[in-house]
Structure 1
């Protein structure tokens, strides 16, 4: 049952008819997903991020992209402070040239 899963959420869109969308992370697995609550008496729907971005084309999608962009540093000094913020997964390192792990 979705309601019993420990999670953190950040609401990013409320529709004209009261449906709500939240970027959510499962605290047990760490996986992000979109939680859609169509209404008060309707069960919530859980969508993985890729499916949501492919299936939705309206303001909901734009609001999610805006939220994701707001989570990233917006100036070069913040990026430079973290010299190498993105590192390849260890299992992929063997396919990348000149990487020593």
Structure 2
């Protein structure tokens, strides 16, 4: 985990070209956001979490969703309270963007 004066980060993806992606939280406001550091000398880019989830569909997004899921307790930690009758597991999280009508 990376800690700086005004933010906390968990890196979730490093690309083949050196790009680095991290889930960040501003410790003053508590707001989450995504930080992207390109592998070249380009400046760091910050995106709000919602925009990242809507705009990105690749490996970076999948790894972020895995990171978010890893922050939640699993069924064993809850005493199997998350199991459903018949041993069925809940469906995985799927994000959808619905346009205004």
State TM-score, norm by structure 1.
0.69
Q: Which of structures 1 and 2 has the bigger CA Rg?
A: 1
Shift of 1:5: 6.5
Residues 1:69 and 2:54 are matched in the alignment: no
Shift of 1:16: 1.0
Please state whether the residue corresponding to 2:65 is helix, strand or coil: helix
Q: CA RMSD in A?
A: 2.2
Preserved contact between residue 9 and residue 23 of structure 1 (Cα < 8 Å)? yes
Query: Following superposition of structure 1 onto structure 2, how do residues 54-65 of structure 1 map, counting pairs within 5 Å?
Result: 54-65=54-65
Shift of 1:40: 4.7
Structure 2 unaligned spans of 5+ = 82-101
Question: Which region of structure 1 is more displaced relative to structure 2, 47-56 or 33-42?
Answer: 33-42
The runs of 4+ residues in structure 1 deviating greater than 4 Å are none
Counterpart for residue 51 of structure 2: 51
Structure 1 unaligned spans of 5+ = 82-101
Residues paired across the two proteins, number: 78
State TM-score, norm by structure 2.
0.69
